[in-house]
């Protein structure tokens, strides 16, 4: 079994590393201090993404994307994930379900989104619906050939900079008809609500949205009526793979920072890495990253090889669970190794400590991932995870 990255994969990884260090790292402290980046800087970053060839790496060139394989996406997102403040989010990935749009939807939404001329966000979570999407209350009532969308959505990541929203709603309030609608943000009845403050610093916001009888035509349905859960699940799988890659990158940067500090910090006449308590933390972190990275690359390569869709969903949950929890442990050790300096916001390990915490929550909590893994074991046996 050849686990060596190809020359192209190594080249993409090196390019992504250079992009992160050139364009993303220099913005970290400003973002932390000011809480946002000015519009002109965001526009400059957008142009840099296009020039670097990292726009829409998850979509085909025919629609304006880069057509990267899942493994190629993984090595790129790993390097981008080293940036704090979720600055990796300036490198956009239009939601994968948009590929299932009609030719008209692809031309109106997907192609300009791939080129950076438009931006989408995905709205699922509500006040009473998070891990259980069957509790969604946002509804689209069908009357005389039109849909009227009513409800509210919470935690809509990048909603402040998007111009259209993929909204998961129930047609006529029927839980058997979950449907994804493409909603232009400028439509009458769409209102951006409050912007909650979160523990992490994030380059964009997570606003709430309110929909008051927003009128939509049938051409705004993505896929088919009743297909919403499957489309949303496809988006979750893609998002979980990206989160896993970002976590591997973030953990790697935290460990590299801690390792350098342990070498240079002299106490009691020698580098603190010479003390077994510190050395063991470095060793444990290195082993955990090695295991997570191996799992990430293998899962991505298997998807590229045509792995069955149900197994993709099963393994994406295991991957997201393992990588997000691994990154939290590595970041915690890094803070401990740096001591007081690791608790300062000017230090990347402090920012990573806060940034990585949400990865155990969004796009499916660790508990939901365990539930999925357990369910897969009941249905298909342990071999889904131990027999590959």
Taking only the tens place, the pLDDT of each residue in 241-266 is 999 999 999 999 999 999 999 999 99
Same domain, 28 and 142: no
User: Poorest-confidence range of 201-205, 230-234, 288-292?
Assistant: 230-234
Task: Read off the pTM.
Answer: 0.96
Count of domains in the chain?
3
Is 2 part of a structural domain of the chain?
no
Is 1 part of a structural domain of the chain?
no
Q: Are 45 and 99 in contact (CB under 8 A)?
A: no
The model's confidence at residue 42, banded by pLDDT at 50, 70 and 90, is: very high
Same domain, 141 and 250: no
- State the pLDDT at residue 388: 81
Q: Are 50 and 115 in contact (CB under 8 A)?
A: yes
**Mean of the per-residue pLDDT values of the chain:** 97
Give residue 325's domain range.
229-386
Is 268 part of a structural domain of the chain?
yes
The model's confidence at residue 331, banded by pLDDT at 50, 70 and 90, is: very high
Torsion sign across C-alpha atoms 343, 349, 355, 360: negative
Same domain, 278 and 309: yes
Taking only the tens place, the pLDDT of each residue in 260-302 is 999 999 999 999 999 999 999 999 999 999 999 999 999 999 9
Is 205 part of a structural domain of the chain?
yes
Same domain, 236 and 378: yes
Same domain, 234 and 363: yes
Domain end, chosen from 52, 86, 114, is at 114
Q: What percent of the chain has pLDDT over 70?
A: 100
What CATH number corresponds to the domain at position 195?
2.40.110.10
For residue 2, pLDDT beyond 90: no
Same domain, 127 and 266: no
φ/ψ bin of 171: left (φ > 0), alpha (ψ from -120 to 50), beta (otherwise): beta
> Of residues 119 and 3, which shows the higher confidence score?
119
Same domain, 250 and 350: yes
Q: Catalogue the long-range contacts made by 106-115 (C-beta closer than 8 Å, 24 or more residues apart).
A: 106/63, 109/164, 109/182, 110/59, 110/63, 110/64, 111/63, 111/64, 112/64, 113/56, 114/55, 114/56, 114/59, 114/63, 114/64, 114/65, 115/50, 115/55, 115/56, 115/64
Side-chain half-sphere exposure of 234, counting CA atoms within 13 A = 17
Nearest Cα residue to 348 out of 90, 75, 24, 42: 24
Taking only the tens place, the pLDDT of each residue in 59-118 is 999 999 999 999 999 999 999 999 999 999 999 999 999 999 999 999 999 999 999 999
The model's confidence at residue 134, banded by pLDDT at 50, 70 and 90, is: confident
Same domain, 247 and 197: no
Same domain, 184 and 214: yes
Same domain, 235 and 368: yes
Segment 327-347 shows an average pLDDT of: 98
- State the pLDDT at residue 11: 98
């Amino acid at each position: 079994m050849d686990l060596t990255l190809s020359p192209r994969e190594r080249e993409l990884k090196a390019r992504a590393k250079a992009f992160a260090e050139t364009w993303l790292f220099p913005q970290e402290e400003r973002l932390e201090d000011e809480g946002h980046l000015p519009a002109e800087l965001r526009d400059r970053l957008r142009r840099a993404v296009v020039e670097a060839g990292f726009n829409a790496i998850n979509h085909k060139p025919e629609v304006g994307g880069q057509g990267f394989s899942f493994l190629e996406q993984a090595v790129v997102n790993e390097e981008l994930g080293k940036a704090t403040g979720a600055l990796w989010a300036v490198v956009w990935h239009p939601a994968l379900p948009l590929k299932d749009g009609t030719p008209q939807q692809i031309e109106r939404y997907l192609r300009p989104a791939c080129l950076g001329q438009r931006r989408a966000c995905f709205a699922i979570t509500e006040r009473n619906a998070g891990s259980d999407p069957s509790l969604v209350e946002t509804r689209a009532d069908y009357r005389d050939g039109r849909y009227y969308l009513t409800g509210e959505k919470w935690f809509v990541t990048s909603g402040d900079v998007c111009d259209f929203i993929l909204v998961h709603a129930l047609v006529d309030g029927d839980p058997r008809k979950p449907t994804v609608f493409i909603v232009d943000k400028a439509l009458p009845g769409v209102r951006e609500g409050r912007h909650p403050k979160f523990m992490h610093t994030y380059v964009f916001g997570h606003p709430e949205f309110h929909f008051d009888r927003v009128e939509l035509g049938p051409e705004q349905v993505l896929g088919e009526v009743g297909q919403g859960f499957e489309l949303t699940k496809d988006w979750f799988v893609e998002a979980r793979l990206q989160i896993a890659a970002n976590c591997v990158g973030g953990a790697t940067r935290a460990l590299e920072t801690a390792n350098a500090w342990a070498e240079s910090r002299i106490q009691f006449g020698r580098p603190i890495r010479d003390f077994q308590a510190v050395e063991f933390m470095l060793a444990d972190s290195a082993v955990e990253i090695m295991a997570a990275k191996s799992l990430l690359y293998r899962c991505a390569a298997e998807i590229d090889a045509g792995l069955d869709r149900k197994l993709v969903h099963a393994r994406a949950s295991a991957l997201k669970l393992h990588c997000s929890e691994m990154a939290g442990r590595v970041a915690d050790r890094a803070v401990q190794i740096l001591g007081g300096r690791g608790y300062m916001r000017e230090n990347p390990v402090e920012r990573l400590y806060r940034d990585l915490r949400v990865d155990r929550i969004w796009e499916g909590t660790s508990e939901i991932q365990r539930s999925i893994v357990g369910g897969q074991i009941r249905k298909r046996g342990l071999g889904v995870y131990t027999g590959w």
